[in-house]
Amino acid sequence: GGAGRPPEPRAPGARAKLRDVEQMVLPFALLRRGAARVRLLCIAREARVQFKSTSRSLAAIRRACNAIKSSATLKEVMLLALDLGNFINHGSSGVGAKAVNIGSLVALRDFKSGRMSSLHFLCASLLRSAPGRAASDELEAELQPALALAKLQVQNLSSAMRNFARDLEV
């Protein structure tokens, strides 16, 4: 190459004559499109940080899902809600629905007799089954990862993942 210019990268042994920094950016210099080079540099600069942040968020979601799946107290509450819902709808807990969802708990809150809701009755049933037990504290402890996740904006995470995937389509 000429004075002040790096040697032609395709010449035999030219790569070895380049400084470390020049060797690292050489693949970008070989790209044909200038805009693609700049875009790729920007993506490379921010990809690691974005990937780590997204990975942490996804790990938090995984912990929350595992906590929900393995919570014995939540399972007990949901089974009680199923029995209570079946009793309300059918008069007997032996027939009726085979499943219940979290939305059913909201429905129990809204189903009232006087000042007492069905959700109050569910809580009283939990307390009656084990008077010294602090089921709400147990539930809070078991679901701590899910409580922490409630602060995470899943919509922002989805957007970040879409942007990351789009950026990789250079």
Whether residue 112 lies inside any domain: the answer is yes
Q: Tens digit of pLDDT per residue, the chain (170 long)? A: 444 554 455 666 777 888 888 888 887 777 677 667 777 777 878 878 888 888 888 898 899 999 999 999 999 989 888 888 888 777 665 566 677 788 878 888 888 888 888 888 888 888 888 888 888 899 999 999 998 888 777 777 788 778 777 777 75
pTM above threshold 0.75: no
The reported pLDDT for the residue numbered 1 is 45
Q: How is residue 7 annotated by DSSP? A: P
Whether residue 132 lies inside any domain: the answer is yes
Number of domains making up the chain = 1
Q: How far is CA 115 from CA 87, 102, 104, 121, 155, in A?
A: 20, 22, 19, 11, 37
Whether residue 170 lies inside any domain: the answer is no
Whether residue 41 lies inside any domain: the answer is no
The reported pLDDT for the residue numbered 109 is 84
Print the domain residue range for 81: 72-142
The reported pLDDT for the residue numbered 67 is 96
Whether residue 92 lies inside any domain: the answer is yes
The reported pLDDT for the residue numbered 65 is 94
Helix (H) or strand (E) holding 70: helix 34-70
Nearest Cα residue to 77 out of 133, 139, 128, 140:
139
Whether residue 66 lies inside any domain: the answer is no
Whether residue 85 lies inside any domain: the answer is yes
Whether residue 77 lies inside any domain: the answer is yes
